[in-house]
Amino acid sequence: MKQEACRKDVERAFGVLQSRFAIVAGPSRLWSKKVLHDIMTTCIIMHNMIIEDERDIDATIEERAEVPRAEVEMMGDDDARFQEFLSRHRQIKDRDAHIELRTALIEHLWSEYTNSEN
């Protein structure tokens, strides 16, 4: 039950981010994990800033120092980018890896909950 409640919370939070930021709602397989982490962190921070700003409508606007531009590494070779996409897609769809992970999870849950007193 606790896992189901946590999952609902995560899905609800992700839905809020998807409705607010188009970049979260779009396809993401072409990006690396680091870039995805940065995007999600940025969206969460901006969401929290928007919520905080909406709560305090009468607050004065403060001047802030400009933040240096983030450097994003773009891949120039479309073929290499497409090959990277195909590689990730194969990893996601690998049936043997899926079966191996599923078996490991079943064994872990079996040993975790058959030996406990709950």
CA-to-CA distance for 70 and 74, rounded, in angstroms?
12
Q: Give per-residue pLDDT as tens, 63-100.
A: 666 767 777 666 567 788 788 888 888 888 888 988 99
Q: Which helix (H) or strand (E) holds 71?
A: none
Task: Average the pLDDT over 40-54 and give the result.
Answer: 83
Q: Say what the pLDDT of residue 103 is.
A: 92
Determine the pLDDT at residue 118. 52
Put simply, whether the predicted model's pTM sits higher than 0.85 gets the answer no
The structure tokens listed for 48 are: 């929290």
Confidence check: pLDDT of 58 > 60: yes
Mean pLDDT across 28-36: 79
Tell me the domain boundaries of the chain.
1-55, 77-118
**Integer Cα distance of 16 and 20 in angstroms:** 6
CB hemisphere CA count around 1 (13 angstroms): 0
- As a whole number, the mean pLDDT across the chain is 79
Kindly tell me if the per-residue pLDDT of 116 is higher than 60.
no
What's the pLDDT score for residue 74?
Answer: 64
Cβ atoms of 101 and 107 within 8 Å: the answer is: no
